[in-house]
């Protein structure tokens, strides 16, 4: 965004100084400046948006008062990462940050366990740092209890940036690669497969259709999927 900030006042602070950065943005906006607070990816996803609301709450801001707010959505690290390795997010997925700097580790571990057991594709943010290396090892151990060792795992560092690096591995082997602060880890579900070097999680069309687009015998387009000749509980009686 260098061309967008040329000639403008830029306030930078480091990691762990997010509160000061959010406060500086709010203060300048209250003084009448037009302020943009930038996060990589989507500012609403592990970004600065939530913190701004907490600062506004702390100073007693009311919605009718200045500064006016506008939230601009962005492309998440999950989406950009996924687009570089295929279509791994084609079905239900979750995002979990492995950073325990602000969240107790037991809360994080419980989410990994639940996501693994319920067969979500799992996107891991902040998987490791120079100091923090054990969480990704523990995450691998938890997921491996529920999924095959050959489950596809993608590692993408610095998606769409200068030092972009992509590795396609699997659940038993991905820890052999370098994983750091700028890596996003995508762990496939039980239906995720690798095809010609792409990682794909199917939406489920083959449960219902042939690849000519015709419904399989016993299935009806636009109606609930019939499994073993029966409808699921929530579908029963609806037609």
Residues 75-104 close enough to bind a second copy by CB under 8 A: 75-76, 79-80, 82-84, 86-97, 100-104
∠ Cα 139 120 114 (to 5°): 55
Residue 179 C-beta: closest distance to a second copy, Å: 15
Closest residue by Cα to residue 153 from 113, 117, 196, 188: 188
Interaction between residue 11 and a second copy (CB under 8 A):
no
d(CA 169, CA 199): 10
Interaction between residue 20 and a second copy (CB under 8 A):
yes
Site string for a second copy, 158-197 (x = CB under 8 A): -------------------------------------xxx
Residue 206 C-beta: closest distance to a second copy, Å: 7
Interaction between residue 200 and a second copy (CB under 8 A):
yes
How many residues appear in the chain?
Answer: 239
Measured distance between the N- and C-terminal CA atoms of the chain, rounded to whole angstroms:
53
**Contact yes or no for 43/71 (Cβ under 8 A):** yes
Which residues, numbered 21-40, are part of the site for a second copy (CB under 8 A)?
Answer: 23
**Contact yes or no for 199/168 (Cβ under 8 A):** yes
Q: Is 161 helix (H, G, I), strand (E, B) or coil?
A: coil
d(CA 159, CA 149): 25
Nearer to a second copy, 31 or 190 (CB): 190
Structure tokens of 106? 């037991």
Residue 177 C-beta: closest distance to a second copy, Å: 20
Please pick, from the candidates 11, 53, 181, 216, the single residue that binds a second copy as defined by CB under 8 A: 53
Nearer to a second copy, 71 or 150 (CB): 71
Nearer to a second copy, 31 or 54 (CB): 54
Nearer to a second copy, 6 or 16 (CB): 16
Nearer to a second copy, 7 or 143 (CB): 143
Residue 6 C-beta: closest distance to a second copy, Å: 26
Interaction between residue 71 and a second copy (CB under 8 A):
yes
Phi, psi (rounded to 5 degrees) for 153: -135, 130
Q: Give residues with Cβ within 8 angstroms of 114, minimum separation 6.
A: none
DSSP for residue 217: T
Please pick, from the candidates 58, 148, 173, 178, the single residue that binds a second copy as defined by CB under 8 A: 58
**Contact yes or no for 165/156 (Cβ under 8 A):** yes
Stretch that binds a second copy, among 1-9, 28-36, 61-69, 172-180 (CB under 8 A): 61-69
């Amino acid at each position: 965004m260098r061309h967008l900030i040329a000639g403008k006042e830029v306030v930078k602070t480091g990691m762990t100084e997010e509160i000061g950065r959010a406060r500086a943005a709010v203060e300048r906006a209250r003084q009448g400046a037009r302020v943009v607070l930038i996060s990589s990816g989507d500012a609403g996803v592990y970004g600065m948006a939530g913190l701004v609301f907490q600062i506004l709450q702390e100073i007693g801001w009311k919605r009718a008062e200045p500064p006016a707010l506008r939230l601009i959505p962005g492309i998440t690290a999950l989406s950009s990462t996924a687009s570089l390795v295929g279509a791994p997010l084609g079905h239900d997925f979750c995002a979990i940050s492995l950073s325990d700097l602000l969240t107790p580790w037991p809360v994080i571990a419980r989410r990994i366990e639940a996501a693994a057991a319920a067969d979500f594709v799992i996107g891991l943010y902040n998987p490791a740092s120079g100091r923090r290396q054990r969480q990704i090892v523990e995450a691998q151990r938890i997921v491996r209890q529920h999924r095959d060792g050959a489950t596809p795992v993608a590692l993408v560092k610095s998606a769409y940036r200068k030092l972009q690096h992509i590795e396609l591995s699997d659940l038993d082997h991905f820890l052999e690669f370098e994983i750091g602060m700028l890596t996003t880890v995508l762990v496939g579900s039980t239906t995720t497969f690798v095809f010609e070097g792409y990682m794909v999680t199917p939406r489920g069309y083959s449960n219902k259709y042939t690849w000519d687009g015709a419904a399989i015998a016993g299935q009806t387009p636009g109606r609930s999927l019939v499994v073993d000749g029966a409808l699921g509980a929530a579908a029963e009686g609806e037609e």
